[in-house]
Copies of this chain bind each other. A is one copy, B any other.
Amino acid sequence: MGQRPFAVFCTALLFAAAGSPALAAPPGSPAAAVNVFIGTGGDGHTFPGASRPFGMVQLSPDTQVRHFRQSYPWAAGYRYEDNSILGFSHTHFSGSGHSDLGDILLMPYSGETKLEPGYPERPFSGYRSRFSHAEERAEPGYYAVRLQDHEVDVELTASGRVGLHRYRYAKGATAKVVLDLRQSIYDYANKNLWSSLRVRDGSTITGMRITRGWAPGRQLYFAMKFSRPIAGRTLLNREEAVEYKGFAGPGKTPADKIHLEGKALVGALEFGVPDDGTLLVKVALSGVSEDGALANLEEMPGWDFDAERQRASSAWNQALSAVAIEAPADMRTMVYTSLYHAMLAPSLFMDRDGKYRGPDNQVHQAQGFRYHSTFSLWDTYRALHPLLTLVQPEQRNADFVNSLVASRQHSPHGILPVWSFHGQETWCMIGYHAVPVIADAYMKGIKGINAEEALAAMTASAEYGPYGGLEHYMKLGYVPIDREPEAASKTVEYAFDDWAIARMAEKMGKKDIAARYYKRAQNYRNVFDTKTGFIRARKTTGEFREPFNPVQSNFGSDYTEGSAWQYSWYMPHDNAGLVSLLGGDAGMAAKIDQVFDAKVEDNVYAHMEDISGLIGHYAHGNEPSHHVAYLYNYAGAPWKTQARVSQIVASQYHNKPDGLAGNDDLGQMSAWLTFTALGFYPVAPGSNEYVIGRPFVDKAVLNLPNGKRFTIRAEGLSAANGFVGSVALNGKALARSFLRHEDIMAGGELLFRMQAAPNKEWGRERSARPYSQTEYQQ
């Protein structure tokens, strides 16, 4: 799609006549630089719709066809490759692998009422409409498209809890809208457990649905208000073959119904012919109740779409202004888009009155924090949460921690979330990675956290025997593969999480806990096979499982979405230990080289959707690889890190819809690029260190949450100059190949002098290398 934010380019002229400014964000501003379509093609699984930073409502077009078994590509509802839109729904994951959501779908239409969506390949077979990217435009907080089949121009914007739609119908056309509670992302038969619709007054509808998707028994409530009175309505329950439906309530026909319950509710609403052709709809969500949704609706009292759009744009500009970037246009767009994608989750999931639904599916009252949910922790503890400690106010980071700790208090199992959204636990992926999120925040001194309760939640999670083989892990020092699948991955990730507990306990002065968990943190060694140089799963009896194949990554293997080549690097808290195990610096560097330089046949990882973005065995599309390029620094060879990140950025990120190498995973892929572009990366969250790579921007100013500024400059940066000649911090040469968190938070300037040839001396000394547990504890 070329070199510039194509969507803005293509459609600005078309929409200008409609009365909206081409862009709400000022030219040159961070928000104006974002290309929200990056990741909407390929398997990025991002969505182009409208939201506020960390907003509860993420309102976006859905293009998917209704079939669960084909749903992976439509995990965000929308695919850039599609040419028809099903409707606009209010909840989406940004970049998830598995999925759910797509709640409360609205579709404006003209002409004949069709209550089924129809088929993309058969225009006018239902309410679905064709659209063209030439008539589509989006920026942070705003999305617009023309529905060709209905001749309706749609614009979307949002506040935190409210989505706002503006529909412009053809002159003289009756304004009509389908409301389809049957639709979901990752849809399948019987996903809707129950739903209801209630006409509250002449222009307000409330309702709810309970779905059994990725999250079981998830309840979501809504309240929607139209800018014009509902002139006619048809409300139907399209369930078939129900053994018993109960007695019918008042209303003889679908036009008389004001209250419906069932599993397959759909409504068609008519609003007459608006003088100006315009109909607006506000939709508020609540995890608590319809009353909660009605109260949330008050968050957006007026009907001034342009003003709301401007507010959303300003909110994004403010959030994105945490980093002021100077870089070539594509890179600037890619980094701001990454920062944008990094600020969609964890998202607010709390009513205005502080009520929220927790993992026990009960309603709770937040005291002194804002409950957030959508924690894709296996992904986001790595770089997303560390990034947010730099670019978001302390309060937001404290909210995340407090939400995790509150969730643990409500949890039927008494443990921290694993992968949760809308308050509900999905048990997806492995580890107890809420632990490093909390530890990282605590180590960085984030205020507003109850450390005692947090640590109790962390150790409770790490010692909960029934979860993921922990009872065996605690007994044997590793997860045995004959008791628990993916045992090698689990062992090394648990060991890292244990180290994070030890760090926090140590800082809190709890020596016993620290000692106990520092010891557990060395458990990665128990699955390292010195003969092969890989981590491998052991059986309860102690032997490694045979046969062993280092490229095996299928379900049933020793690993989680990975192979031995990918997972054998996972002791980010003790890379010095790994260097020893691999026979020293040279062995370490050589083995990392092997990862990247391997010739890997296409079919080796083809069975795993998530293993994508391959460079040899390195899979940038999935998280286990994310820190690997930075590991050369621990072997005294930062120049190799610099070369590898150049290689990764060039091959894995592009300013185009399929510009992400894999699922964005709720911002982790994007956080990787953001950090990497700045020139450093948090290999071991909780260490308070960032391993230095190389910058990809000429200049970046971090406007830090503490009010200070930290400037990164890359002198002489060009395509030819991809190596770091030297680094200076506040004017003094920096010998070490890592930054400390306090270096950044103190404000100042980090100067990279870029050059064409590698500086193989810088960072070679042992004293220049980042934190590793075994050295720290000597």
A interface list, Cβ under 8 A from B: 68, 188-191, 193-194, 196, 198-199, 210, 212-217, 242-252, 256, 258-259, 261-262, 289-291, 360-363, 412-413, 415, 425-428, 464, 466-468
Contact present for A258 and B196 (CB under 8 Å): no
| Chain B residue at minimum C-beta to C-beta distance from A208 | B361
Q: Pick the contact of A243: B189, B199, B214, B428 (CB < 8 A).
A: B189
| Chain B residue at minimum C-beta to C-beta distance from A419 | B247
Say whether, besides A250-B413, A413-B249, A466-B256, A360 and B198 are in contact (CB < 8 Å).
Answer: yes
| Chain B residue at minimum C-beta to C-beta distance from A429 | B247
Not counting A250-B466, A258-B413, a sample of 19 additional A-B residue pairs whose C-beta atoms are within 8 angstroms of each other reads A188-B244, A193-B193, A194-B212, A196-B217, A198-B412, A210-B210, A214-B246, A214-B247, A247-B428, A248-B427, A249-B413, A250-B415, A258-B412, A259-B412, A259-B413, A289-B362, A289-B363, A290-B360, A291-B362
A466 CA to B259 CA, complexed, in Å: 12
A198 CB contacts on chain B under 8 angstroms: 360, 412
A194 CB contacts on chain B under 8 angstroms: 193-194, 210, 212, 217
| Chain B residue at minimum C-beta to C-beta distance from A261 | B216
Complex A-B: 26 CB contacts under 8 Å: A68-B243, A189-B243, A193-B193, A194-B194, A194-B210, A194-B212, A194-B217, A196-B361, A212-B246, A215-B246, A216-B246, A247-B426, A247-B427, A248-B427, A249-B425, A250-B413, A250-B464, A250-B467, A251-B466, A256-B466, A258-B413, A259-B412, A290-B360, A290-B362, A291-B362, A363-B363
Most buried by B among A247, A248, A360: A247
Most buried by B among A215, A360, A415: A360
Give the Cβ gap from A556 to chain B, nearest Cβ, in Å.
Answer: 16
Contact present for A243 and B196 (CB under 8 Å): no
Most buried by B among A246, A252, A428: A246
A602 CA to B297 CA, complexed, in Å: 61
A219 CA to B138 CA, complexed, in Å: 42
A191 CB contacts on chain B under 8 angstroms: 244
Say whether, besides A194-B194, A250-B413, A243 and B188 are in contact (CB < 8 Å).
Answer: yes
A2 CA to B362 CA, complexed, in Å: 53
A412 CB contacts on chain B under 8 angstroms: 198-199, 258-259
A210 CA to B361 CA, complexed, in Å: 13
A233 CA to B262 CA, complexed, in Å: 34
| Chain B residue at minimum C-beta to C-beta distance from A246 | B216
A260 CA to B290 CA, complexed, in Å: 26
Contact present for A250 and B468 (CB under 8 Å): yes
A291 CB contacts on chain B under 8 angstroms: 362
A250 CB contacts on chain B under 8 angstroms: 413, 415, 427, 464, 466-468
Give the Cβ gap from A422 to chain B, nearest Cβ, in Å.
Answer: 13
A247 CA to B188 CA, complexed, in Å: 16
A262 CA to B212 CA, complexed, in Å: 9
| Chain B residue at minimum C-beta to C-beta distance from A413 | B250
Contact present for A210 and B189 (CB under 8 Å): no
| Chain B residue at minimum C-beta to C-beta distance from A188 | B243
A463 CA to B475 CA, complexed, in Å: 72
A468 CA to B250 CA, complexed, in Å: 7
| Chain B residue at minimum C-beta to C-beta distance from A425 | B249
Give the Cβ gap from A584 to chain B, nearest Cβ, in Å.
Answer: 41
A713 CA to B362 CA, complexed, in Å: 57
